[in-house]
Amino acid sequence: MDLKQQVLLRMQIARLDFVYKMTRLLGALVLGAVLFVLGAIIVLFLSYMAMLALTPHVGSATAACGVIALGYILIGWIIYAFRQRLIMTPLANFLGGLFLNDETENNTGYDEENVHA
C-alpha cells in the first residue's frame, strides 16, 4: 500500500470518527433538551398539586404559591452553590472522554489492523 492510500484511509477514519463523536454529542443534547422539557412540565404539575395541598394549611392559594416559590429559590441556590460538582465536572468528563480519547474506538465498523492489510 502506498503512502497516498495510507493518508487517504487515515483521513477517512478521522472523518468517520468525527461524525460518530458529533452524533453522540448532538444525541446527548437532544436527549437533554427533551428531558428538560418533560421535567419542566412535570414540575409545573407537581407545583400546582402542592399548591392545592398547601392552600388549606397556609390560608390562601397566594401564600401556598409563595411557599412553593421559596422552595424553588432554595433549590436553585443549592444547585448554584454546587454547580461545579453537579454540572461542570460531569460535562467536562463527558466532553473530555468524547473528544480527547486517544484510543480509536471501533464503533465505526472499521478495524485499523484490517485497513492496513
For 37-52, the pLDDT digits (tens) are: 999 999 999 999 999 9
Does the pTM exceed 0.85?
no
pLDDT at position 51 is 95
Split at pLDDT 50, 70, 90, the class of 4 is: confident
**CA distance between the termini of the chain:** 8
For 67-117, the pLDDT digits (tens) are: 999 999 999 999 999 999 999 999 899 888 888 876 555 554 544 444 444
pLDDT at position 46 is 96
* Structural domains of the chain, count: 1
In angstroms, the CA 101 to CA 98 distance is 6
Which residue range(s) make up the domain with 94?
Answer: 3-116
In angstroms, the CA 21 to CA 39 distance is 26
In angstroms, the CA 76 to CA 74 distance is 5
The one-letter amino acid at 54: L
pLDDT at position 117 is 43
